[in-house]
A = this chain, B = another copy of it.
Amino acid sequence: MTESRSERKRRANGEESRRRILDAAAEVAGVRGYDGTSIALVSEKCGLPASSIYWHFKNKDDLIAAVIERSFDIWADALTLPGDDTDPARERVTALAGQVAKTLLDSPDFLRLGLMLTLERRPEEPSARRMFLQVRDVARARLAAVLAMLAPDADRDAIDLVATYAIAGADGLFIAKEIGGDSVDLRPLFDLHARALHDALTRLTAGGQATEIS
């Protein structure tokens, strides 16, 4: 167990094959959803036979869960609060919203797949769905922490409410972009959203006057 594993794996192109399979699966699943993603299609797209896919992954469920897992970092990075503490809160919220918007535009496959997994309900829940919801909850907690930092006096319920609303807005705007395509300009919409979040945060700050957060 303690011997160097990196040496062993170099025998063939296993590592790169795995990556190619995941790339192909992410592309297909992000466009066609869970059911619409067939092993044959992924196989064709990555140039490797089905047996290779089943060598690297237990089954289709495992494959798509791995796609979700690998893509989490994209989300995670978009949720770091930009600027520093001397900047006004509203600008920082707006910048954060802009980051999220950019992420959605740059790699829409991940969220599209996640939302499809979220909406579908089948008798046996795919582990990919569970994985997405888990990852999404991490993102939510992180966002709540950011909001709590921006409004230190707000109570936890208020923060949670605004965080939920923030994510809901992002989801909805993503869908609007999916539908409208080029006719939808996300920037003013996310500005609107950032403004709404900031206002809500200010308003919901409990009891004592909100410490000047703007």
Chain A interface residues toward B at CB < 8 A? 31-33, 35-36, 94, 98, 112, 115-116, 118-122, 133, 136, 161-162, 164-165, 167-173, 175-176, 178-180, 184, 187-189, 191-196, 199-200, 203, 210-211, 213-214
Are A178 and B35 in contact, CB atoms less than 8 angstroms apart? no
Of A33, A179, A184, the most chain B CB neighbours within 10 A belong to A179
Q: How many copies, total?
A: 2
Of A133, A194, A199, the most chain B CB neighbours within 10 A belong to A199
Are A165 and B192 in contact, CB atoms less than 8 angstroms apart? yes
> Which residue of B is nearest A90, CB measured?
B213
Shortest A199–chain B CB gap in Å is: 6
In the complex, A122 Cα to B195 Cα: how many Å?
36
Shortest A183–chain B CB gap in Å is: 10
Are B94 and A213 in contact, CB atoms less than 8 angstroms apart? yes
Q: A112-B119, A213-B195 are in contact. Are A184 and B200 (CB under 8 A)?
A: no
Q: A171-B172, A194-B213, A195-B200 are in contact. Are A33 and B188 (CB under 8 A)?
A: no
